[in-house]
Chains A and B, each alone.
Chain A
Amino acid sequence: MRNQGVVESVLVLDGVTKSYGKSRGIEDVSLEITKGEVFGFLGPNGAGKSTTINVILDLLYANEGTISIFGMDSHKDSVDIRKRIGYLSGDMATDPSLTGKQYLAFAASVHGNVDTQYVNELLKRLRCETNKKIKSLSRGNRQKIGLVAALMHDPELLILDEPTSGLDPLVQAEFNKIIHERKTAGKTTFMSSHVLSEVQAVCDRVGFIRDGRLLRVSSLEELMESAPRRVNVLYGAVAPDSQLRTLKGVSELKKAGNRREFVFRGKYNELLRVLSMKPIRDLQIVETPLDELFMEYYQSKEASDV
């Protein structure tokens, strides 16, 4: 266990493999998530995100490897574990003839000891419609009911499988706020997502999965630090082109009049020294958005596989 004694592990996957007959599910996935962490699980469709989540939830049984949640075995102690877990799938499914209120009452009765005041607060914050039958609700409104059901017992571990599909921006912002509040309270969140801005907004660490294999796990800070920056500089007269060309870490250098644009991954002191050799009128150093990183990461992996 990482930093044993200092950081409490909430979820540990050790060499987990799940295959469906001849077809692949996930292969040798190992991962450790600690208390209070918000972990983003990224990958293209069919990469193995949902399979991983369903194995964690004991809906699918792993062929190999072990999963420990709160120090308990995810299979043997699955009911005790699920008392402390909240889960929402990408498209919440329940009896369509129930109203939102009826479904939440059922979920509350199964969980037991649910704080009604907290549930009402969640309903208000997420602007839920609870009196309509679930079949008459839009996907976004169904997801909101599902979110309340997942959060109602204030779970220690929240597992979300592409949770914000269909949510409007206001509710999305409220959702991000709730995740931050949970983090402050020491609660853990594991979420798979396609919405990279959402991952960037709430996650501490991210894991990239493709073809059932976990390719990389790193903190968002590490990821962004190692990520290239787009540099856009406008010179007053002449640009230090020869120095820029030879500077380590510069690529895709483009010239347009006195403007120079390039991608930089290297030491910033060196960059600033070279840039300041000539008078600068304007300078922008832009962080690469996560979605570009994501695309670059998967494209480079695909290229290396070929």
Chain B
Amino acid sequence: MFKNLFTKSLYTLRWQLFGWIAAIMFIAFFTMVLYPSFSQDGIEQIVDSVPESMRSLVGDVADFKTIPGYIGQQIFGPNLYIVSLIMSILIFVSISASEEADGRLQSLLSLPVSRTKVYFQKLLAATTVVTLISVSVIAALWVALLIIDESADYGRIWQSIFAFTIINVVYGLIAYVAAMVTGSKGYTILISSGYAVASLFITSLAPAVDKLATADKFSLLHYYNNPQIMTEGLNGNHLLILGTVAVVLIVVGWYGFIRRDVQAS
């Protein structure tokens, strides 16, 4: 049944995979079927009631009135990625720091398998699961668009899904690398969730607060869906930055893992 650590890790993550697919699809589906309500004039009054300095947080009201703008703002915006970043961090933590904390990694490394293989097969399994969960958004959107009898540019939706997957994986990677370098579940959660919360805070407020402009460059969320992919298409430079960060993280995590003690029970 398990030919290698990758398939075993996928099996271990199966309930998280199904659970998170259901949750992410639920959010994407219901957000999309609510589009007709948002596209009516009432939304303008709501946005008008928001102070000028906070407008950047809710986006351009015109975006709510078009399908691409709505999908870009509501589906691939903070509503969903706050949940998906938590999902990704939890999945990467469960396959790394959690397994070390309860002695499973120790058992695994007593078998004839190299640390490099363990590192990359676990990484591949978690990346696969996060990718499948991220891609499941397309199915929710397709069904929802059918129900509300609207159409959308699926090319742009796939581009958005691609960027959505990348940002989820990169945030998961921060957790994975922290776990593989430190071996501590506490530090891993502190580092990964701390960075995620800080970057979310900075990137959300940066458009309204000039002093955060420099800090925003260090927030990976700055390079996601900015400008909106549904209307402007993928930004190659931003993808390159996220890709480079991912590669650097992977190398740092591998280097740290093969050179440190594994917590033993």
Binding site for B on A (CB under 8 A): 50-51, 54, 57-61, 78-80, 82-83, 85, 87, 89-95, 97-98, 102, 105-107, 109-111, 146
Binding site for A on B (CB under 8 A): 1-5, 8, 11-12, 15, 102-104, 106-107, 109-114, 259-262, 264-265
Does B110 contact A57, Cβ atoms closer than 8 Å?
A: yes
Most chain B Cβ neighbours within 10 Å, of A80, A95, A102, A146: A95
Pick from B3, B111, B264: contact of A54, CB below 8 A: B264
Closest to B12 in A: A95
Pick from B12, B259, B262: contact of A60, CB below 8 A: B262
In the assembly, what is the distance between CA of A79 and CA of B260, in Å?
16
Closest 7 CB pairs of A and B: A93-B103, A87-B110, A82-B112, A83-B112, A106-B2, A54-B264, A59-B262
Does B2 contact A93, Cβ atoms closer than 8 Å?
A: no
Does A110 contact B264, Cβ atoms closer than 8 Å?
A: no
Does B110 contact A94, Cβ atoms closer than 8 Å?
A: no
Does B264 contact A109, Cβ atoms closer than 8 Å?
A: no
What B residues does A111 contact at CB under 8 A? 111-112
Does A89 contact B1, Cβ atoms closer than 8 Å?
A: no
What A residues does B261 contact at CB under 8 A? 59-61
| A82 CB to nearest chain B CB (Å) | 4
Pick from A51, A82, A97, A109: contact of B110, CB below 8 A: A82
In the assembly, what is the distance between CA of A105 and CA of B111, in Å?
13
What A residues does B2 contact at CB under 8 A? 102, 105-106, 109
Question: Known contacts being A59-B261, A102-B1, A106-B2, is A95 close to B111, with CB within 8 Å?
Answer: no
What B residues does A51 contact at CB under 8 A? 264
What A residues does B8 contact at CB under 8 A? 95, 106
Question: Known contacts being A97-B12, A106-B2, is A89 close to B103, with CB within 8 Å?
Answer: yes
Closest to B4 in A: A109
In the assembly, what is the distance between CA of A94 and CA of B103, in Å?
8
Does B102 contact A50, Cβ atoms closer than 8 Å?
A: no
What B residues does A92 contact at CB under 8 A? 107
Not counting A50-B265, A83-B112, a sample of 6 additional A-B residue pairs whose C-beta atoms are within 8 angstroms of each other reads: A59-B261, A59-B264, A89-B107, A91-B103, A93-B107, A94-B104
